[in-house]
Structure 1
Amino acid sequence: MERILTKDEIAELLSAVQEGEIELEALGDDEFVAPERGGEATRLDLLRLQDSGRWRFQNLDIILDAFARNYGMSLTNRLQSSVMVKRNDMETREFETFLSDLPKNGLIGIVRLDPLKSGGLLIFDDQLSYSLLELLLGGTSRGKFTIFQRPMTAIEVNVIKGIIAAACPDLKKAFAPLETLESALVKVENNPRLVTIVPPDAAMLITRFTVTVDNLQGRLTLAIPHASLDPLREKLKEGVLGGGGRRETLWSRRLQEEVCNTEVTLAAALGKVSLRVRDILDFQVGDIIDLGCEPSAPLSLVVEDRAKFLALPGVKNGKKAVRIIGET
């Protein structure tokens, strides 16, 4: 067994090597082992956006699914054809990179999302844009449309603008449980270089939807800056899941309205006494039943067989009435 060098011996050996007193022996060809070649190095920039923030906003998919349902119904009513809008995927990308990858000849709607920090983008790809244009001009969804390899003209953009603007009320409705948005279409562009709503390196949450009209299909993309969604992160955790600080949803408000309109039975009880059946069978006209309470004692106001209030008897407009004086 070889002897293990001490700490002082190791220090002296290293010093001798550095000063050149000991020459290092080169390894033989048979002793040399080449390191295994790994994959290509990947650049990691800690100052720029990384994909780790892809699922930062918990439960936001519930809000976006609600937007897809609402927008599908809006398009169905507008086009008089069955339209289905389905959410596909969500990812986080830098604004500059996202714009550079947008499909050509599509339409970019810039929408206002007050009081959020920045607005958002609604992008229709060329397939969806030209298909909707044909439908609005009287075409049928059962035929095949020609997708021109050119940007839309100003007249064509004005025809589609109403379809893009119809998404703004549905965005407001979907975000209602979290924030009261004032959403409106600002303008429509077909050149990504003219769209600058945030700095180039800003993080954007990208959500893609598939829009299907009979046998026609296109892609809709919703892009919202992370800076706009950051203030809603805590509300997303509480409001959607039903935490302590949640806001009333449309369903809860309707349920409350229906409960308030429900009819119940209200009775004023003079008193209550327990008797045997034998005694009840012997009752005669004129018998007096002791209720066990003073004549001036308040009545018990019973709601659906449950005592709720205390009341005093009286008369109003020639009819017997009670005045509530407290709770039981």
Structure 2
Amino acid sequence: MEEILSQNEIDALLSAISSGEMNAEELKKEEQEKRIRTYDFKRALRFSKDQIRSISRIHENYARLLTTFFSTQFRSFVNISVTSVDQIPFEEFIRSVPKLTVLNIYSVEPLDGRLIMEINPNIAYAILDRILGGKGNSTYKNEGLTEIEKILLRQIFEKTTDSLTEAWSSVAEINPSLESFEENPQFLQMISPNETVVVVSLTTVIGEASGMINICIPYILLEPIIPKLSAHYWMQSSNKERDYESYHKLIKHVQQAEIDVKSILGETTISIQEFLKLDKQDIIALDQPIDHPLALVINDEPKFSVQPGKYKNKMSVQVLEEIKGGNEDNE
């Protein structure tokens, strides 16, 4: 595969030739000479850069879904993001895994092969601490997990299969299932040691604990769907015609959605002592000037400036202008 230079590299090359630092004739001679490139057959690159980018895109979506799922389950700060996506021999992945760790092995029907999720012990113990009512502290133990801890972790990671299904739905309809739970990577004899695998590394923060979640995907599992990992397939998928029936159904449901609308006449603050001394016909002064517009609040968000009045003998408000800012500035 020919190397494609960036614009900065092209500019630097032209500048060096024009200044005399490099000789164009010498470059031509080097180009004509035979070049020998070292190739390691043990590290065969079976995925193109385009396909690696597609796998990275899928798992960025998976990281977001996993962040939402863990945040809901643990009621704690969770942040998961893709750090790297590499293709390496399976043997190299096994060597990089700690001797005592958490290994989830998933079957991914209808695809052949199995997927491995390796969870760093720091993250595993933080999850356990949070499940059992703690603050999410990581208390790493060298002696490994108890049977109860294994069951708790297995139950949590069985629930993450829905997020994996959704993340891969743009490429393939899969039905992942947690097959087994291991602690020692030496027991994993799934494929040949020299078989190429894609390793997706996710940086994970749960509460005050941080660590890595590594997802190992064998080539044999991805082989049937490799054509769908190309940019051409993604562009075709994004250019699909709109499903007008679903579109109109969505509009209808949105139009029927109920929202809470209220206008605040004013607010004030009084002490408990003043509250207890309130009597009939007492007047409470509000902090809303009578000549200033009121705020129309929709689902607890101020959206419009309004003025109060009557319409058909009913208390009403007239919209003056839209209140811009708030969440819209962050979008």
TM bucket normalised to smaller: 0.5 to 0.7
User: TM-score, normalization: structure 1?
Assistant: 0.59
Q: Tell me if 1:136 matches 2:125.
A: no
| Contact map agreement 1:54 1:91 (CA 8 A) in 2 | no
Aligned partners of 1:119 and 1:234: how far apart in 2?
Answer: 20
Matches within 5 A, 1:282-301: none
**2:42 equivalent in structure 1:** 48
Structure 1 residue ranges, 4+ long, deviating more than 4 angstroms after superposition: 43-46, 51-54, 245-249, 260-263
In structure 1, give the amino acid aligned to 2:126.
Answer: S
Deviation track 1:212-259 (CA, whole Å, cap 9, x = no partner) reads 12322121111101222132222122576321x66969xx66x86234
Partner of 1:200: 193
Structure 2 CA distance for partners of 1:157 and 1:240, relative to 1, 3 Å: farther
Asked if the contact 1:59/1:240 (under 8 Å) is kept, the reply is no
1:260 deviates by 5.3
How many angstroms apart in 2 are the aligned matches of 1:70 and 1:183?
Answer: 15
Farther-moved stretch of structure 1 (102-111 vs 233-242): 233-242
1:272-320 deviations in Å (ceiling 9; x for gaps): xxxxxxxxxxxxxxxxxxxxxxxxxxxxxxxxxxxxxxxxxxxxxxxxx
Q: Is the 8 A contact 2:80 2:202 kept in 1?
A: yes
Q: Secondary structure at the match of 2:92?
A: helix
What do you get for the CA RMSD once the two structures are aligned?
A: 2.7
Is there any run of 5+ residues in structure 1 with no aligned partner, and where?
Answer: 1-42, 264-328
Q: Which residue identity does 2:167 align to in structure 1? A: A
Indicate the SS of the match to 1:200.
Answer: coil
| 1:214-293 → structure 2 map (5 Å cutoff) | 214-237=207-230, 241-243=234-236, 257-259=246-248
Amino acid at match of 2:160: A
Deviation string 1:88-114 (CA, Å, 9 cap, x unpaired) is 011111112211220232100000111
Cα distance, 1:228–1:145 mapped onto 2, change above 3 Å = closer
Task: Say whether the 8 Å CA contact 1:54–1:90 is kept in structure 2.
Answer: no
The count of residues paired between Structure 1 and Structure 2 equals 215
Measured in 1, the distance between the counterparts of 2:240 and 2:163 equals 18
Q: Which has the higher helix share?
A: 2
Mapped partners of 2:48, 2:127: distance in 1: 31
User: 1:45-66 CA deviation, whole Å, 9 max, x = no partner?
Assistant: 6542235847361422111111
- Secondary structure, counterpart of 1:242 in structure 2: helix
How does the TM-score come out when normalised to structure 2?
A: 0.59
- 2: CA distance, partners of 1:88 / 1:227: 24
1:169 aligns with 2:162: yes
* Pairing 1:113–2:102 present: no
Pair member with larger Rg: 1
Residues 239 and 232 (structure 1 numbering): CA distance in 2 closer, same or farther, change over 3 Å? farther
Percent identity of paired positions between Structure 1 and Structure 2: 18
Cα distance, 1:130–1:240 mapped onto 2, change above 3 Å: farther
Q: Could you tell me how far apart the structure 2 residues matched to 1:171 and 1:117 are? A: 16
Q: Which runs of 5+ in 2 are unaligned?
A: 1-36, 253-331
Match of 1:61 in 2: 56
In the alignment, the residues of structure 2 paired with residue 104 and residue 54 of structure 1 have an alpha-carbon distance, to the nearest angstrom, of 32
Query: In structure 2, do the counterparts of structure 1 residues 209 and 262 end up closer, same or farther at CA, with 3 Å as the change threshold?
Result: closer
Deviates more, 1:82-91 or 1:227-236: 227-236
Alignment partners' CA distance in 1, 2:232 and 2:50: 16
Cα separation, partners in 2 of 1:46 and 1:147, compared to 1, 3 Å: closer
Distance 2:115 2:38 in 1: 28
Deviations 1:140-162 (A, max 9, x none): 13xx4321123212221111112
Q: Displacement of 1:176 after TM fit?
A: 0.6
- SS of 2:49's equivalent in the other structure is coil
Q: Output the CA distance in 2 between the equivalents of 1:121 and 1:93.
A: 14
CA apart distance, 1:44: 5.6
- Tell me which amino acid in the other structure corresponds to 1:257: S
CA distance in 2, matches of 1:118, 1:76: 30
Q: CA deviation at 1:262?
A: 5.4
User: Does the aligned pair in 2 maintain the 1:177–1:239 contact within 8 Å?
Assistant: no
The 3 A distance-change label for structure 1 pair 138 and 92 is: same
Within 1, Cα distance between the matches of 2:60 and 2:224?
20
Aligned partners of 2:78 and 2:207 also within 8 Å: yes
